[in-house]
Homo-oligomer: A and B are copies of this chain.
Amino acid sequence: MDTRTPAPESSPWLPFESRRRARDEKREAVLRTAVQLFLEQGYHRATLNEVADRLNITKPALYNYFRSKEDILFECWVMGQERVEDRISEIESAHENGLATLRMLVHAYAATMASDFGASLVRFNVADLSEPNQKITLAGKRRIDRAFRNAIKQGIADHSIKPCDVKLTAFAILGALNWIGHWYKPGGELSPDQIADDFAIRLTADIAKRPDKKPSEKKATKPVRKRSTR
């Protein structure tokens, strides 16, 4: 006999929802721990036992949430990819001119690279993924690449960006950005947002039609925030 008042909030599928949420939270906790360990030690040197240890559980418990170690790796990558793609969508739907769009992309991507899941986009080895997952990651990388190239192309078309080789320009910019995932360590002199601000100008200075002021020499003046990251 159910003695609870059947208030709208306590409808039969609400407990189910909250339980699902708890499960998702645990899933994400696993990913957060795993991505850190993978970044610290590399995917292969990191063991599932150690992931489990850090979560105060045991290895087989992980298999309630993931099918395999590779699955965990892939999901880490997905987390980073989703963040980036969400921001890209936002930025593109703002319909600014090419240069402004490019700078927002640089800013967003730079900030993401300074996070664990963001770094996982470039620090992990595609060869460690299953064949189908490799395809997915490759498609994702292409979408990011295309976003940058489109912004550059559009900028050339709308005359906010000087004519340039789109492909190489995108490579150069993305390279500088991806590298952040390798050198950034929390607690340095610059916050992710400061780095993002700087790079948004720095990496577009040479192709901008009306050259902006370059980032100040010694971060003396705070660069203009184009947009908050979150």
Contact = CB atoms under 8 A, between A and B. Distances in A.
Contacts of A214: 162, 164, 206-207
A125 B41 CA distance: 9
B42 A125 contact: yes
The oligomer's copy count stands at 2
A199 B167 CA distance: 12
B165 A215 contact: yes
Nearest to A174: B179
Interface in A144-202: 162-165, 168-169, 171-180, 182-183, 190, 195, 198-199, 202
A10 interface: no
A11 interface: no
Interface stretch (A16-24, A81-89, A216-224): A216-224
Q: How large is the interface on A (under 10, 10 to 19, 20 to 34, 35 or more residues)?
A: 35 or more
A4 interface: no
A41 B127 contact: yes
B165 A216 contact: yes
A62 to B, nearest CB: 20
Contact of A179 (B44, B175, B195): B175
A207 B203 CA distance: 11
Given A42-B127, A43-B44, A169-B202, 4 more contacts: A163-B217, A168-B202, A172-B199, A175-B177
The 7 tightest CB contacts between A and B, nearest first, are A175-B179, A206-B206, A175-B176, A42-B127, A44-B44, A205-B206, A172-B176
24 contacts: A40-B127, A42-B127, A45-B127, A45-B128, A162-B214, A163-B217, A164-B214, A165-B198, A165-B215, A165-B216, A165-B217, A168-B195, A168-B198, A168-B202, A169-B202, A171-B176, A171-B179, A172-B176, A172-B199, A172-B203, A175-B177, A176-B179, A206-B214, A207-B214
Interface of A: 40-45, 125, 127-128, 162-165, 168-169, 171-180, 182-183, 190, 195, 198-199, 202-203, 205-207, 214-219
